[in-house]
Copies of this chain bind each other. A is one copy, B any other.
Amino acid sequence: MENFNIILASKSPRRKELLGNIVPNFILKTKDVEEIYPKTLAVKEVAAYLAKLKADAFTEDLKPNDIVITSDTTVVLGKTIYGKPKDRQDAIEIIQALSGKMHEVITGVCLKNIYKEEVFSCTTKVFFKTLSLEEIEYYVNRFKPYDKAGAYAIQEWIGFIGIEKIEGDYNNIVGLPLQALHTKLTQFCNSLLKA
């Protein structure tokens, strides 16, 4: 990894902090990409599709030693993707939809340099207890989760009191599948060094 210039293409302070735990040195660089995906795409493939779309925006700019990491996180319940809430009422309704059910948090990741590109995604199942309206309103009023896909963060109050169980990588829910990313990024770097 130390032979490459790692670029994290994310505006999220959470992702920056997460990546810092497994990659000692990297820089931040973002490009605005319209997050549009084909209507026919299976909901579970959207995160990986958007991660690749974000990486493709870097195609012209990459230098030989650059590796850019892009990602997208979706909250999927059945056939519905829940994005960031539009407003307070929308946040309440999204959390009500997740209450008492299992949903999936899917993070798609793309690693890209001038020679190769790798896309993968990681899924973690999240099981919410049945939340009362009082609990949901307290959370939304106090934590204002308007920048969060699915209108919640696992590392905030509603995650502490409301999530009975997860199955998968915890950090994937926070924003990056660190364990898989560390493995894939190490392999990606090694294969470039051998090439």
Q: Complex formed: what's the CA distance from A61 to B58 in Å?
A: 65
Copies in the complex: 2
CB of A163 within 8 Å of the partner chain: yes
The yes or no answer to A21 lying at the interface (CB within 8 A) is yes
Check B166 against A179 for contact (C-beta < 8 Å): no
Expressed in whole angstroms, the Cα–Cα distance for A88 and B21 within the complex equals 23
> In the complex, what distance in Å separates the CA atom of A18 from the CA atom of B161?
11
**A157 interfacial by beta-carbon distance below 8 Å:** yes
Of residues 161 through 187 on chain A, the ones whose CB sits less than 8 Å from some CB of chain B are 161-171, 178-180, 182-183
Q: Which of A90-145 contact B (CB under 8 A)?
A: 129
Contacts of A157 in B (CB 8 A): 21-22
Report the minimum CB–CB distance from A99 to chain B (whole Å).
14
In the complex, what residue of chain B is closest to A180 when comparing beta carbons?
B164
A70 to B22, CA, bound (A): 34
Binding site for B on A (CB under 8 A): 18, 21-22, 129, 154, 157, 160-171, 178-180, 182-183
